[in-house]
Amino acid sequence: MASANTDLVVRGMNCTGCANSVTQALRAVAGVASAEVSLQEGRARVRWSNGSQSTDPLIRAIKEAGYQAEVLSAIQPARNQWSPLDGWRFNAVVGGSVTAFLVVGEWLLHLDHQQWFQWTAFVLASIVQIACGARFYRGAWRQIKQGASNMDTLVSLGSTTAFAYSVWVLLSGAGGHLYFMESAAIITLISVGHWMEALAATRAESSLKSLLHLAPQVARKVDNGTEREVSVDELRSGDLIRVRPGERIPVDADLTEGQTSIDETMLTGESLPVDKEIGSKVYAGTMNVTGQFVGRVSATGEGTALAHIIAAVQRAQNSRANIQRLADRVSNVFVPIVVCIAVATALWWGFAPKTAHRVVDFLGQYLWQSHVPASSITAAIICAAGVLIVACPCAMGLATPISIMAGSNAAARRGILIRDGIALERAGEITAIAFDKTGTLTKGKPAVVAFEEFGSSPLPARDLASALANASNHPLSKAVAKDSSGKVDLKNWRETRGAGVEADTAAGFARLGSITSLNKAGVNTDVAAKFVDEWTTRGTTVLGLSINSDLIAAIALQDEIHANARAVIERITKRGLKVYLVTGDNPRTAKAIAEQAGIPTENVFAEIRPEEKSALVKQLQDKGDRIAFVGDGINDAPALKQADLGIAVSQASDIANEAADIILLKSDIGGVVEALGLARATLRTIKQNLFWAFFYNAAAVPLAALGFLSPVLCAAAMGLSDLVVIGNALRLARFSDKK
């Protein structure tokens, strides 16, 4: 499958907030399926939803966001090489060396009043302003040209204010303290903060990047009995490959020869290897544990289950939660408001210094001593610079995306795919969970446990039932189809969802379906009353087989309930959530299953046809419940969409077509509790980060305006605020839900 990607070089990004702005700009372009932006590499990768598209809208969107971009082409390989002038490392090393020298000179050796040291400080601080501050000035200028502003604007204004004031004092001979050390420290500390921020963000992306590199790039192709190693890009659907023990599988394939066990932990979160035999599916990136096998390629490249999972995680990481809207509204006006506060601070200290000092002296009794310069002009400039530097719009911009990134990565490692940030929010508001029975509470692998014929049949009953069920994908039909290998000629075969299958035969019109549906169709089912009564009380599903209006057989199918189903239901109810069971089975079977699982009988809804499930969910919602519906996705799509939160227990190969909000790649329904717990933990982290971002700015800006925070402390505090937000989000990697 050809790749439909576009890679771009993006310039002007200084922090994770910048990378997020570029991501959002790219996602807004028509035809873009997903966008991944790497801050450290200065790259962006766009995946198109409908093939290769024009790159002009991408570059235009990035430019409108205040950044520069160009297409990464084959003639630009040199940009992959590391350069000491790239990234924040240069700023940290050069700026750190200058700042350390000036700190020692001023604070330890007290050389700040000697003329030679002042001129040395001027030269060194100028180097920092030009070489290290260039990134901030370029970023601020790009934003200004777009009529916008961001963190670069504040840092540039703050550092330039301290530096320019010191140059004026030095050149005019006015005397007084020079702030060259402070101007260098501001740029250095913020650069170090961004460097650490980029490293932390890279760690948050680590699990996704590890997924990207799981599938090997070469495969052992089998052609006319001979083997040769080829690039995975050369493989096509239908090709044969051989995989030996201990090797990772390069593509999705169906086993055609051999038996083995596959470690699918990275794909589904299942800890134990899964046995595979001829006809089983294997997936790219998983590990072949025991035997060697030959498989027929079913998907390559972006068509593999691994690629779909990666795309799903990226979609979640690039999504925005509704809660982010508040932060967006504040961020849009944040920088202009901070600049206004800085101007007001300068005017206050410049024209009413006595009043300002009285306020500071009074508050100093309860806080700490403020070292505001005695000169009103100096105090005005330094306090205003502190306000500009300490304010941090990045923390607000990072609060949601970094949490979603960390949460979605943590979920993916557990075999849980969360569609987007809105799904996270909905998960935190759920009051009830409705389980579909087959494939969720039960394992979805029913088997025929009893088959009873009534009277004489013109056709072999088992063979007829198997033939009718053979073309259906329903789990019950598959079980019946396996019960016999006999052949019966059918005509006009059709399937009615929730009712069964039917066709014309040489002996008449044949039906296979639930006893209830056969009754409604006019079939006399009285002869099976004893059979139905006996087997439904055991929790089995009973199907009837009829020709014309005569019931010729009844079939009991047992679908084993998950061993931990009762424990999972108990954990859910302990959290104050209601649990409902929804099934197409008859009431007696449904209640027997509910009793095994620990679900109250009054919360059981039986004989619900697939198309009626969404109406039932709507009915529960109308009563005030916020419903999470858990289904296997076969007949549950309408209910999954109607629910406040759709949770699908899915096969890895079905991810591309799945429309649920949360997808569980393993059959263990304990994943439902884990998914809800992780989603709620992520939402809680978002709220904590937003609170910290608002609280930090609400407290830090007034303290800087009053002189309780020096410009150097302001720079350190601003960098720390970003790291606190990122560090809090990274805690999700260690999420544990054992309640």
All residues at 6 or more sequence positions from 44 whose CB lies less than 8 Å from its CB, including other chains: 7, 8, 10, 22, 23, 26, 35, 36, 37, 38, 62, 69
What is the average pLDDT score of the chain? 80
Structure tokens at 244: 């030996």
- 3-state SS, 597-649, equals HCCCHHHEECCCCHHHHHHHHHHHHHCCCCEEEEECCCCCHHHHHHCCEEEEE
> φ and ψ at 182, to 5 degrees?
-65, -40
- Which residues are identified as catalytic? 436
Q: What is the pLDDT of residues 498-512, one digit of tens each?
A: 678 999 998 999 999
The pLDDT value recorded for residue 8 is 86
Place 554 in a pLDDT band, splitting at 50, 70 and 90: very high
pLDDT digits (tens, 9 = 90+) for 441-500: 887 778 899 999 998 888 899 999 999 998 887 878 888 998 887 788 999 999 887 678
CA distance 479 to 447: 5
* pLDDT score for 734: 78
- The reported pLDDT for the residue numbered 547 is 93
8 A C-beta contact, residue 629 and residue 640: yes
Q: What pLDDT sits at residue 124?
A: 93
What pLDDT is attached to residue 679? 83
pLDDT at position 374 is 75
Write the pLDDT tens digit of every residue in 565-621.
888 899 889 888 999 998 877 788 888 888 888 899 889 998 887 778 888 989 999
What is the pLDDT, as a whole number, of residue 463? 92
Does the CA dihedral 561-563-564-567 come out positive or negative?
positive
Domains within the chain, CATH numbers bracketed: 5-81 (3.30.70.100), 216-303 (2.70.150.10), 416-442+563-680 (3.40.50.1000), 447-558 (3.40.1110.10)
Name the least confident of 125-139, 405-419, 425-439.
405-419
pLDDT at residue 366 greater than cutoff 90: no
| pLDDT of the residue at 323 | 62
Cβ atoms of 135 and 154 within 8 Å: the answer is no
Numbers of helices and strands, H then E, in the chain: 26, 26
Share of the chain above pLDDT 90, in %: 11
CB 630, CB 613: distance < 8 Å? no
pLDDT in tens, 104-120: 988 788 887 888 998 99
pLDDT at 132 over 90: no
Query: Given this model, what pLDDT does residue 4 score?
Result: 67
Q: What average pLDDT does the segment 178-199 reach?
A: 77
* DSSP three-state, residue 428: coil
pLDDT at 544: 93
pLDDT tens figures, 221-274: 988 878 888 888 888 888 999 998 888 888 889 999 888 888 876 666 565 688
Is the pLDDT reported for residue 682 higher than 90? no
Task: Tally the residues of the chain.
Answer: 739
Residue 608: partners with Cβ closer than 8 Å, 6 or more residues away: 582, 583, 584, 616
Give yes or no for residue 387 having a pLDDT over 80: yes
What's the start-to-end Cα distance of the chain, in Å? 44
Q: What is the mean pLDDT of residues 549-562?
A: 89
**466 contacts: CB under 8 Å, gap ≥ 6:** 480, 481, 482, 483, 484, 485, 486, 488
CB atoms within 10 A of CB 735: 18
| Contact present, 373 and 383 (Cβ < 8 Å) | no
What's the CA gap between 185 and 70, in Å, rounded? Answer: 33
CA distance 489 to 460: 12
Rounded to whole angstroms, how far apart are CA atoms 241 and 234? 12
Q: What is the pLDDT of residues 201-213, one digit of tens each?
A: 666 555 555 555 6
Higher per-residue confidence, 324 vs 26? 26
β-strand partners of 647:
630, 662
Mean pLDDT of the region 57-77: 75
How confident is residue 195, by pLDDT bands cut at 50, 70 and 90? confident
Label residue 80 by pLDDT band (50, 70, 90): very low
